[in-house]
Structure 1
Amino acid sequence: MGVGTGDMTGTRHASEDGVQLVLHGVDHTARPTWKLNETVEFYRDILGLPLVHAISARGWGPPGHHDFLHFFFDAGKGATIAFFYYIGSERPERYVPEEHHFYFATHTAWAVETEDQLIQWKETLENRGIKVSPYTKHEILESIYFTDPNGYPVEITRRLRETELIDEVDARLTIQAALEIETECREAGRLMPDIDTVWRRKAKLVDAYRESA
């Protein structure tokens, strides 16, 4: 499978070998930074997250790999927020932040447990001079958003409820509808037109599901 090609040739499905792989949460996220001072100040001094680990190394792996620092901030329950600082490098154009939903789609949501904790995060960050979004409720989550000095979006979120069986069924039917339409559109050489197309296909799948239930 090539990097970023989408080529699934030679891969096997989990149902074929009977091995159930299990994850136990997030260990760390990692992103590059070209703003060492600002990143450390933001996460350690403004957010107040402890700096708990740092790796300093000569370049390794492929030719041209820069010497680097790899440092980690505590994000709770064993998870960390990590950054790579590639010594002597300049930020490539493709890593420059942009005001577009494609860019902001890549982010990590860090969890708090209660509404009071979410309110505390928003009010405290604003008192510390950070611009924070309004509270946003999206189905099972409520979140706030802000950006770090690198332009990376950060989400702080709380669960409004746990997922149930009906959520799993709904997810399966939604994605099945979208997969079918994407396949048809690829074969026809066009893009998926809109969400209404997905909803109409999903409605047919829901009817079939009800009949078989």
Structure 2
Amino acid sequence: MSEKKTPPFAVSGINHLALVCSNMEKTVEFYEDVLGFPLIKTVELPGGAGQHFFFDIGGGNHLAFFWFPDAPAPAPGIAAAAGMPGGGDLTSAVGSMNHVAFTIPLDKFDEYREKLIAAGVNTGVILNHDDSESTVAQEMHPGVFVRSLYFQDPDGILLEFACYTRELTDDDVKHAPANQTAGA
């Protein structure tokens, strides 16, 4: 599409993504006990305004949560996806956080799915993403570029375990960006 340029900023990744939860205790239990992400920092916000906790998700990446005592109720289908790919509406509003995808090893994909199910986590169907018209294949084949399993945390935040099945190349950039304002 476009030639590679030297980036104007030396960004090496995402420091953290901050989400909002309804119950910090349940959030800690899920992310630390079920997913195994160590809790590495806790902050009490001044004046009883809430809490801000950070989890290490590996590779120098962190996932953070705010808990606000007066946070508005969740708004699935507006501020977040209402369902899971392959089993519900994935659409969410412009400016929303749709889902968080965690990279996992390809050879652990099935094992990790079973661990989530054994822990009682609401999981979706396995999606083998390819370049077909439907963008998903029933079975693995050489054109599958990523395997995905979507699931939800206790607040319904959409999460994904994803693993690339091959290296992406310049040939994987084939589509022109849409030139239309969403919601117009």
Q: Distance in 2 between matches of 1:30 and 1:85?
A: 10
Mark the runs of 5 or more structure 2 residues left unpaired by the alignment: 1-5, 84-88, 131-144
2:56 counterpart SS class: strand
Greater per-residue strand proportion: 2
1:102 to 77, 91, 97: 91
1:42 equivalent in alignment to 2:34:
no
1:92 equivalent in alignment to 2:84:
no
The percentage of aligned residue pairs carrying the same residue is 28
| Preserved CA contact (<8 Å) 2:123 2:151 | yes
Q: Distance in 1 between matches of 2:22 and 2:97?
A: 21
1:55 to 30, 43, 48: 43
Q: Distance in 2 between matches of 1:111 and 1:117?
A: 11
2:122 counterpart SS class: coil
Deviation at 1:134, TM superposition (A): 2.2
1:26 equivalent in alignment to 2:18:
no
Q: Distance in 1 between matches of 2:146 and 2:122?
A: 21
Q: Deviations over 1:86-111 (max 9, x none)?
A: 1x314336478644322497111100
1:164 equivalent in alignment to 2:169:
yes
Distance 1:106 1:93, change over 3 A: closer
| Preserved CA contact (<8 Å) 1:34 1:91 | no
Amino acid in the other structure paired with 1:106: N
Distance 1:58 1:153, change over 3 A: same
1:112 equivalent in alignment to 2:94:
no
Q: Distance in 1 between matches of 2:71 and 2:8?
A: 42
1:150 to 146, 155, 158: 155
1:135 counterpart SS class: strand
Deviation at 1:70, TM superposition (A): 0.7
Amino acid in the other structure paired with 2:171: I
2:14 counterpart SS class: coil
For these two proteins, the number of residue pairs brought into alignment is 154
Moved more, 93-102 or 143-152: 93-102
Q: Deviations over 1:61-89 (max 9, x none)?
A: xxxxx612110111111111110011x31
Deviation at 1:121, TM superposition (A): 1.0
Instruction: Name the larger-Rg structure.
Output: 1
| Preserved CA contact (<8 Å) 1:54 1:71 | yes
CA RMSD of aligned residues (A): 2.8
Q: Distance in 1 between matches of 2:74 and 2:158?
A: 18
| Preserved CA contact (<8 Å) 2:121 2:153 | no
Q: Distance in 1 between matches of 2:63 and 2:16?
A: 6
The two structures have a TM-score, normalised by structure 2, of: 0.72
Greater per-residue helix proportion: 1
Match of residue 54 from structure 2: 72
Distance 1:93 1:54, change over 3 A: closer
Match of residue 136 from structure 1: 127
Moved more, 127-136 or 67-76: 127-136
| Preserved CA contact (<8 Å) 1:28 1:82 | yes
1:38 counterpart SS class: helix
Deviation at 1:26, TM superposition (A): 2.1
